[in-house]
Amino acid sequence: MRFADAVGGFRLSAVAEFKRRSPSMGDIRPDARVEDIVPAYERGGASAISVLVDDRFGGSIDDLRAARAVTDLPLLAKGFFSTETHLRELREAGADAALLILRDLDDETSQRLIGYADDVGLDALVEAHDREEVHRAMRLGGVVGVNARDLSTFEIDRAEQLRLVRLVDNHEIVIAESAIQSRAQAAEAELAGANAVLVGTSLMQAADPEAKLRELISRPLVKVCGLTRQEDVDAAVEAGADMLGFVFAEGSPRRAAAVLDVPDTSLSVAVFVGEAEERGADLVQVYESEPGKVRGRRAWLGSPGGGHAAYVADLPWEGDDLDHWRAAEDWPGFMMLAGGLGPENVREAIETVHPWAVDAASSLESEPGIKDHARVRAYVEAARA
């Protein structure tokens, strides 16, 4: 399978990276062996493997050859390549794709290398770091990579990365590179429009890279909503919730005063009716209005100002619908199932509907706006079983 085909699907895929060190961090796993790590990545669900062949990352082209010997997955060679000779050597060593960094290459050179890569059977991952480079990448063709790390300063800017991912046309394949440590962060890139995430450091640092990769790409995500107290936020994060919801709808018994502190590895969600407001949350969830009710039944979930990304299938406000799960099964695209979910039924709901995410609020409370921590733990555990 071609690299582009492996990472270009609708559902988020992962390019798992093998590297022993990083110029910014130093040694990560200096004694790591390709023969041990790459098969673990394949078992963990990687769609492709990235191999650093540059000695600044503790790698060499022999690592690429070793990876080719132990996996049939597409291999991406990463390094600083600028000539046809580089690309030919990579292809002969078993690569299916090669990284081309636009910061280091002008358009004429990039276009020539992309054409040569295609001639010898390589896909090109064309890496961008800013708005101008993203537009260059789309003009040049190839798979677009958006790196959160500035290779000059080594600083990370995930917010800018997500903005740049959203610039890429829907018909292009785009990979969000670097700074993915949790499945919530991977999902945020997915909602922004990334087809895949390229993950290296967090996998190589993990005691069990296979389990860590499986965790990053597993679904559904788990949301705990209706939070009003920091202690409840902390309990939900500790339980393993990916998204923490704060309701700002007039008339809701769970109305929050503000978006509370949420760690970088999780996502805060501000919930509104009618129109979203700026509350500093990572995501917004906006319900339709319905006369006489606090909210309508349907909602969308996405980045602030970034348009619709996922749809929310919920029950009517203070109502029921016996066909709710059956109807939700037919929703296209990313769908978050809400309404009446709790520890007792969330696993059955997941196995029936196969949602992208699940959302619970009132069933996890001891009273409106106050969470029962034992029920929160039980709900998250059941959802992630």
For the residues 191-210, what does the mean pLDDT come to?
95
318 Cβ contact partners less than 8 Å away, ≥ 6 residues apart: 293
Q: How high is the pLDDT of residue 43? A: 98
Helix, coil or strand: residue 74: coil
Q: Do the Cβ atoms of 282 and 259 come closer than 8 Å?
A: no
Rounded CA-CA distance 382/84 in Å is 52
Other C-beta atoms within 10 Å of 154: how many?
A: 11
CATH number of this structure's domain 221-383 = 3.20.20.70
- Whether 3-217 shares its CATH topology with 221-383 is answered yes
For the residues 58-87, what does the mean pLDDT come to?
95
Look over the chain and give the mean of its residue pLDDT values, rounded to a whole number. Answer: 94
The yes-or-no verdict on residue 205 having pLDDT over 70 is yes
Residue 337 pairs with which residues in a beta bridge? 313, 358
Q: What's the pLDDT band for 240 if we cut at 50, 70, 90? A: very high
Range in 103-117, 216-230, 298-312 with the lowest mean pLDDT: 298-312
The tokens describing 364, both together, are 């996890």
Q: How high is the pLDDT of residue 322? A: 87
Q: How high is the pLDDT of residue 330? A: 81
Rounded CA-CA distance 244/237 in Å is 8
Q: How high is the pLDDT of residue 321? A: 87
Bond preceding residue 220 cis, omega within 30 of 0: yes
The tokens describing 106, both together, are 């002008």
Measuring CA to CA, which residue among 59, 333, 52, 89 is closest to residue 198?
A: 52
Give the pairing of strands 143-147 and 123-128. parallel
Q: How high is the pLDDT of residue 307? A: 63
Helix, coil or strand: residue 361: coil
pLDDT digits (tens, 9 = 90+) for 258-270: 999 999 999 999 9
**CA 328, 330, 336, 342 torsion-angle sign:** positive
Which one-letter amino acid corresponds to residue 15?
V
In 3-state terms the chain splits into helix, strand, coil percentages (rounded to 5) of: 35, 25, 40
Q: End-to-end CA distance of the chain, in Å?
A: 32
Other C-beta atoms within 10 Å of 212: how many?
A: 22
For the residues 96-106, what does the mean pLDDT come to?
96
Q: How high is the pLDDT of residue 178? A: 87
The yes-or-no verdict on residue 183 having pLDDT over 90 is yes
Measuring CA to CA, which residue among 25, 12, 44 is closest to residue 209?
A: 44
Q: What's the pLDDT band for 42 if we cut at 50, 70, 90? A: very high
The yes-or-no verdict on residue 176 having pLDDT over 80 is yes
The yes-or-no verdict on residue 304 having pLDDT over 90 is no
Query: How far is residue 59 from each of residues 164, 335, 341, 355, measured CA to CA in Å?
Result: 29, 41, 48, 40
Fold of 3-217: TIM Barrel (3.20.20)
Q: Do the Cβ atoms of 359 and 225 come closer than 8 Å?
A: yes
Q: How high is the pLDDT of residue 1? A: 87
The yes-or-no verdict on residue 195 having pLDDT over 90 is yes
Residue 15 pairs with which residues in a beta bridge? 48, 198
Q: How high is the pLDDT of residue 24? A: 77
For the residues 313-330, what does the mean pLDDT come to?
90
Rounded CA-CA distance 163/145 in Å is 13
Each domain of the chain, given as residue ranges in start order, spans 3-217, 221-383
Q: How high is the pLDDT of residue 214? A: 96
Q: What's the pLDDT band for 308 if we cut at 50, 70, 90? A: low
Other C-beta atoms within 10 Å of 326: how many?
A: 11
In which residue are the tokens 């997500």 written?
Answer: 162
pLDDT digits (tens, 9 = 90+) for 338-365: 999 999 999 999 999 999 999 999 999 9
Determine whether 171 is exposed, middle or buried from the number of CB atoms within 10 Å of its CB (0-12, 13-18, 19+).
Answer: exposed
Q: What's the pLDDT band for 174 if we cut at 50, 70, 90? A: very high
Q: What's the pLDDT band for 153 if we cut at 50, 70, 90? A: confident
For the residues 57-65, what does the mean pLDDT come to?
91
